[in-house]
Amino acid sequence: MTISRRDLVTLLAAGAAAGLAPGVLPAQRSMPARPIPSTGELVPIIGLGSTKPVTQIAELGEERVAAVIRTLTEHGGKVVDTWPRNSASDAAFGRIIDTPQLRERLFVTLNLEQTGKAAGIEHFDRTLRNYRRETIDLVNVGSLTDLDVQWPNLQEWKAAGRARYIGVTAAQAALYERLQTFVRNETPDFVEINYSVTERDAEARLLPLLADRGIAVLVSRPFMNGAYFERLESTPLPGWTAEIQCESWAQFSLQYILANPAVTCVLTETTSPAHMAENAASAFKPVPQAGLSARMRELIDAI
């Protein structure tokens, strides 16, 4: 089933209305979800970008990272975006996501940045072994790397049932022109891009294009890899953010992002279970309407 842009906006509006009942704790209900346009499958709107957690397993231990993922699932989330680093870290991560309480509850993605057909296949096979999976939910060509060679690999894996969905990532504005050309000629299920209240290059042209093409959107860098918080550390949260029940700068950016109906899921990156809970809580809050979104942009641009 393919969902039109009009139907997608209608579904999101209905989900937002259902997700704002006062006095209900996030853990007491399902996280609001948005459809993958190519199939209609629903995906919870806050996920985990796990590059930092995976690379810090050696320092923090597996239990700390497992607690972050459990916190996400306890709030109804399930998307865990992964960027393989080394076999030791990936194997440890595989043990975490293979535990009985997590294995069937997660939507796991894999991003590949290899050059050459054989290298892409080897990396994919090795990562699936480390993750203890025969099928991955989503595999992306990371940063459009060697796209002409790797995209046919992904198509073959999807046809063989080894990947449920396929896509690409372009987490910097310098890649947007290539990305726009690609999505006009191909039909990925997903595209992952950077987008936030501080990085809005995708807002005018790219996000509308992805919506029109019926492509699900994962958002990375909602906090500019931490630079967002450094920029705002001496600035108090304005009182008017109470209009959308916003309680932190993290939620400020997440609620701004989620106001765009083209966004399917926002990937937040943290090694703190408490911060994961705070991020997940954003899914249950009102999104700003156009006037308030403009005020949010003006505030950030002025700081």
Q: What is the pLDDT at residue 121?
A: 97
Q: What is the pLDDT of residues 128-137, one digit of tens each?
A: 999 999 999 9
Query: Which CATH number applies to 41-302: 3.20.20.100, 3.30.70.2660, 3.30.420.10, 3.40.640.10?
Result: 3.20.20.100
CB 216 within 8 A of CB 189: yes
| CA proximity to 102, closest of 74, 83, 81 | 74
Domain range list for the chain: 41-302
Based on the number of CB atoms within 10 Å of its own CB, is 225 exposed (0-12), middle (13-18) or buried (19 or more)?
A: middle
Of the CA atoms within 13 Å of residue 31, those in its CB half-sphere come to 27
Chain center to CA of 240: 27
Q: What is the pLDDT of residues 136-168, one digit of tens each?
A: 999 999 999 999 999 999 999 999 999 999 999
Cα–Cα separations (whole angstroms), residue 77 to 80, 158, 212, 246: 9, 24, 26, 19
| CA proximity to 74, closest of 122, 26, 12 | 26
**CA dist., res. 193 & res. 169, Å (int):** 6
**CA dist., res. 286 & res. 303, Å (int):** 24
Q: In terms of DSSP H, where are the helices of the chain?
A: 5-18, 51-55, 57-60, 62-74, 87-97, 100-103, 117-131, 147-159, 176-185, 206-212, 227-232, 249-258, 273-281, 290-302
Q: Is the pLDDT of residue 24 over 50?
A: no
**CA dist., res. 223 & res. 253, Å (int):** 7
Q: What is the pLDDT of residues 290-303, one digit of tens each?
A: 999 999 999 999 99
| CA proximity to 117, closest of 144, 149, 143, 140 | 149
- Confidence grade of residue 29 (pLDDT, cut at 50, 70, 90): low
Per residue, what are the HEC states of 54-119? HHCHHHHCHHHHHHHHHHHHHCCCCEEEECCCCHHHHHHHHHHHCCHHHHCCCEEEEEECCCCHHH
Instruction: Give backbone dihedrals phi and psi of 41, rounded to 5 degrees, phi first.
Output: -60, 135
And the tokens for 86?
A: 């080394």
Q: What is the pLDDT of residues 218-240, one digit of tens each?
A: 999 999 988 999 999 999 999 99
CB 201 within 8 A of CB 173: yes
And the tokens for 192?
A: 């992952």
Q: Are strands 42-44 and 33-35 parallel, antiparallel or unpaired?
A: antiparallel
Q: What is the pLDDT at residue 181?
A: 98
